[in-house]
Amino acid sequence: MESNKETQAAAPTATAASPRAAMQAVGGMMVAAAAGGRLVRGRLGSGVGAETAVAAISLVPSLVALRGGELAAYHGVEHKSIAAYETDDDAADAAKEHDRCGSHLMTPLLASNLAGAALLRNVLDRPGPVSHFAVGVASLGVAVEVFIWSERHADSAAARVLRRPGHELQRLLGTREPSEAQLEVGRAALEEILRVEAPAV
C-alpha cells in the first residue's frame, strides 16, 4: 500500500489523467447538443415530444464526460470515501452509489421541465426564450425541493422511489468501482480535508 505522502503526491497526476482531447470532445458535444436542441425545437415546436428529445440530448455531454477516462471511477471514490466517513468504515467496503449525489436531481428536474413546457403551451401561443428560461429555473427549484424532501424522509417508501432513477444512473453510468490506488487518493484527500477542518487547539 502506498504511503500517505506518496498518495498525496500521486493525486495531482491522477486528477490530470483525463486527456485534453477528451475534454475537447466533451466541449464539442456540448456545442453539438445545444445546436441539436435548437434544431429539434425548430422542427418539432415546443410539444412534449420535442421537450423530451431536447432534455435527452442535453444529457449526452454529461454522460460522455462521466464515461471518459477515470472520471467515473473517481466519482465512485468520492461516494465511497464519504460513505466510509459517515459510517466509520473503510472506503473499499462502501457502496459506490450515494443518496446525496446530484444524479437524484435529474428525474424531478426533467419531470418538472416537461410539466412546465406543457403549461407554457396552454398559456402562451408562442413561448419565447425568456419563458423557457423561467421554466428552467422553476424546474431546478422543484428538483432541489424534492431532493431536500427525500433527504429528510430518507426512510419513506416515496423517497426510495424518488431516488431509484438517480441510483440506477449512478450504478450504470455515473460511477465505476475504483482501483485500490484510486481509493488511496480518496483516503488521502479525506484525511487532508479533515486536517484542514479540524478546530484549532
Enumerate the domain spans of the chain: 4-193
Mean pLDDT taken over the chain: 77
Cell of 26: 466533451
pLDDT range class, residue 141, cuts 50, 70, 90: very high
8-12, 109-113, 137-141: range with lowest mean pLDDT: 8-12
The count of C-alpha atoms lying within 13 angstroms of the C-alpha of 36, restricted to the half-sphere facing its C-beta, is: 16
Q: Is the pLDDT of residue 142 over 70?
A: yes
Give the rounded percent of residues in the chain with a pLDDT score beyond 90.
34
pLDDT range class, residue 197, cuts 50, 70, 90: confident
2: left (phi over 0), alpha (psi -120 to 50) or beta: beta
> What is the model's pLDDT at position 114?
82
What is the C-alpha to C-alpha distance for residues 75 and 16, in angstroms, rounded to an integer?
A: 14
What is the C-alpha to C-alpha distance for residues 192 and 83, in angstroms, rounded to an integer?
A: 17
Q: Is the pLDDT of residue 8 over 50?
A: no
What is the C-alpha to C-alpha distance for residues 191 and 59, in angstroms, rounded to an integer?
A: 33
Own/partner pairs, 157-162, CB within 8 angstroms, 24+ separation: 162/104, 162/107, 162/108
What is the mean pLDDT of the segment spanning 159-186? 91
For the stretch 43-92, pLDDT in tens is: 655 555 666 666 666 666 666 666 666 888 999 999 999 999 999 889 99
> What is the model's pLDDT at position 78?
93
Cβ(80)–Cβ(179) below 8 Å: no
CB under 8 Å to 103, separation ≥6 — which residues?
166, 167, 169, 170, 174
What is the C-alpha to C-alpha distance for residues 62 and 59, in angstroms, rounded to an integer?
A: 6
What is the mean pLDDT of the segment spanning 148-160? 94
> What is the model's pLDDT at position 94?
93
Cell of 101: 449525489
* Residue with more model confidence, 30 or 90: 90
